Chain A
Amino acid sequence: MYKIVEMVRTSWQIARSYKMNLVFSILALFFTTIPFYLVAHAMQPMMGDVVKHEGGDYFGFVLLGLIAISLLTTALTAVYQSVSGSISSGWLEAQLGTSTSMPVLLVGMSAYQFLWTFLRVAVLFLYGWTLGVHVHWSGIALGFAVLLLLCVAYFGLGLVLAAMYLAFRTIGPLQSVIVTGSVLLGGVYYPTTVIPSWIQSLSVVVPMTYGLRATRRLVLDGAPWSAVQTDIGMIAVIAVLMLMLGIAAFQLSFDHARRRGTLSMY
């Protein structure tokens, strides 16, 4: 654990050295939320009824969607970005020269990005609350746990992306496909019930669908555990499957890279 703590500490040191980037990253949180706030309020009369099972407040609905997208993006790209960046500088191979295991390295290399994202979404959530989102605080802990499961599911896919990069030095359009698919089919800006039925059937394989729906019902609607247990069960199963898939893909790709000698070749 202390290795991961030290890796996070170092990542923070590096991030801190880019002062303006850090400042803009925080400011962007506040400024990018304003348009969503205004548009959501304008659309409230139209969308209020549509999202009534998930709190009924369209701004709150979108806010949790934005939070889920932030977490998805980090879970999906953190490992891939760390791996791609450290391959080109030889840094990955240098770290692999130590006796630290690969899982610890992968978690340590991406942990800071997760912590930073959690901090940012916490600030975003509190900001939304001050702007009038009605929050059922009793559902916060379970809602957070569901979002963590969502992160695990997309972290598994992130490992697949990193594996692709290790093997082929590109991830092709996979990242865009996953993000776009999750946004369109997972109910980020609208509930999945409003999308055409033939596409709706696709949303059952999107982890975002279950994770986001459960979180919204817990946090915005105050739903009890029994009302969301099916969604939570689904996201838990998907998370385990995705993680196993990701680990297997990364291990295969890593062994392939060691055979081909491409761990530090750009």
Chain B
Amino acid sequence: MISTTEIPFVTPTPLTQRTTAIACSGLVKSFPIRRGWREALRAPFTTRWQLVTDHLSCDIAQGELFGLLGPNGAGKSTLMRMLATAVLPDAGTATVHGADVVADARAVRDMMGVVAANERAVLWRISARDNLRYFAALLGLRGAARTRRIEEVLELVELADTGEKMVGEFSSGMRQRLLIARALLGSPRVLLLDEPTRSLDPISARQFRRFITRLIREDTKCTVLLATHSTDEAMELCDRIGVLDRGRLLAVGKPADLGAELTRNSFRAWLGPDAEAALDRLVARGVVVSWSPTAGMEELFREFAVEVTEGHQGAAELVRALVAAGVDVARVERVPVSAADIIERVLATSDRRGESADV
């Protein structure tokens, strides 16, 4: 394994002094590849395997909201399900607050709330309150304590008024909140959220993110591992993001750091007339790596995409050189990055280097 420091655009983010909530070390998991009839008949006793997590290691601190980003098949859900003790790892270890997910599976389950991607995993013909009552019983809650806890979580997810409604009549957003309520019933120390906004429309998803922020930051303060396809979601919610692809954790860092690292030298500049010739001269001098005009225009100032060499220092030098060359400079700003860019960039770089992060 190669440490994150060897990947140029990743800022390693130490866990500070907080207690480790989730620790994974060298987790390996392979699943058999489904075969067609022809292949199965030709070689009935052979199995081909697909590596889903490849010596995956990470530590997540107590109280941290950690996002897992990655394309389909990256291994996000498998990692979640291994932590939830539903899938056994082939090799490596994973612990939750010190309890091993294989050897102490029951202790792990006691500490964990899971919101799986499958929102159908509810009892549709009974009310939300009765769904929670059922689950509370499985969690060992009884009597008045159970009733009180059910009301608490219903309040938390803002379903107290609709608690008697049959779940089959719920909207997707309400069902998702019910799943959260169910996961919170046992007052978990760790919450696993697997694509919680997958089936939500954009407005419901935004409401859900606000809800999660409030819930995690203010109300429960538990550790959260969030697997998502939504880059916006990860950027908005998470303390740190891990980019996962083909079972390898390629990069980990704070969302802002990852973005800044990625676009360190990419700037947009709104420049006056005759800027092209000046930019060419700066390329020759080595101040500018490359430049190109974009379609943007603000009054008399045309927008250019400029790649410099030394981040903000390079940008400062760019401004000085342009002014010295008599070019009017209206504005220079760093290119804003989308998380999709981060993933793309991380994946492209890892393809070139064949690396994985060890956080």
Contacts and interface: CB of A to CB of B under 8 A. Distances in A.
Nearest to B126: A13
Contact of A6 (B78, B133, B182): B133
Contacts of B186: 98
A261 B116 contact: no
B125 A98 contact: no
Interface string A228-266: 000000000000000000000000000100111101100
A14 B123 contact: yes
Interface of A is mostly: helix
A15 B211 CA distance: 34
Nearest to B133: A6
Interface string B83-98: 0111110100000000
B140 A259 contact: no
Contact of B120 (A7, A89, A99): A89
A2 interface: yes
A10 B123 contact: yes
A215 B78 CA distance: 51
Contact of A93 (B86, B110, B134): B86
Interface string A1-27: 011001100100110011000000000
A29 interface: no
B135 interface: yes
Contact of B126 (A10, A97, A259, A261): A10
Contacts of B87: 258-259, 261, 263
Q: How large is the interface on A (under 10, 10 to 19, 20 to 34, 35 or more residues)?
A: 20 to 34
A96 B101 CA distance: 13
A205 interface: no
A259 B81 CA distance: 11
Interface in A82-126: 89-91, 93-100, 105
A260 B81 CA distance: 12
Contacts of B292: none
Contacts of A90: 116, 118, 120-121
A100 B141 CA distance: 12
B121 A93 contact: yes
Nearest to A16: B125
Contacts of A93: 81, 86, 116, 121
Given A14-B125, A17-B126, A99 B114 contact: no
B239 interface: no
B331 interface: no
B118 A260 contact: no
A55 B88 CA distance: 56
Interface of B: 29, 31-32, 78, 81, 84-88, 90, 106, 109-110, 112, 114, 116, 118, 120-123, 125-126, 130, 133-135, 137-140, 142, 166, 182, 186
Interface of A: 2-3, 6-7, 10, 13-14, 17-18, 89-91, 93-100, 105, 255, 258-261, 263-264
